[in-house]
Amino acid sequence: MPRTGTITEQRTTHYEGHVQGVGFRDTTLEIADSLAVSGYVQNLPDGRVKLVAEGISEELNQLERSVLQRLGNRIRETQQEVRPATQQFSQFEIRYA
C-alpha cells in the first residue's frame, strides 16, 4: 500500500516463462505488500503474467529486484513499459481474468 512520498511512475511488466501455476501471483503480492507500491498482478490467457505497479522509483526497483530474486528461475523473458503514475490504485492486489 502506498506510503508517504510522491507516486512518480507506473511500470507495466510482462513476465514470460513458466510463470503460471507456480505461486507467482501470491509471491508477488507478498513482496508488494511489504513495499510502498500499488497496482496488481494478473495471469494472462497467453501464459504470461502481467504486473502493473505504481510508486516511487526506489520502491519499484525493490519490487523488481525481489521478484527476480525469488522467481527469476521461472522467468524466461520480461518486457516493461514505464509511464507517469495515474494514481488509480489504492492497494496492491491479485486480479483474476
Q: What backbone phi and psi angles, to 5 degrees, belong to 22?
A: -130, 15
pLDDT digits (tens, 9 = 90+) for 26-62: 999 999 999 999 999 999 999 999 999 999 999 999 9
Of 3, 11, 25, 73, which is the active-site residue? 25
- Topology (CATH level 3) of domain 9-86: Alpha-Beta Plaits (3.30.70)
Nearest Cα residue to 58 out of 21, 6, 1: 6
- Residue 11 falls in the annotated catalytic set: no
Query: In the chain, where are the structural domains located?
Result: 9-86
Cα dihedral 17, 20, 22, 26 in deg (nearest 10): 120
Q: Is the pLDDT of residue 2 over 90?
A: no
Full-model pTM: 0.92
Q: What pLDDT is stored for residue 5 in this prediction?
A: 60
> Count of alpha carbons within 13 Å of 1, Cβ hemisphere only?
1
25 is catalytic: yes
| % of the chain with per-residue pLDDT over 90 | 91
Catalytic one among 3, 11, 43, 73?
Answer: 43
Question: pLDDT value at position 3?
Answer: 47
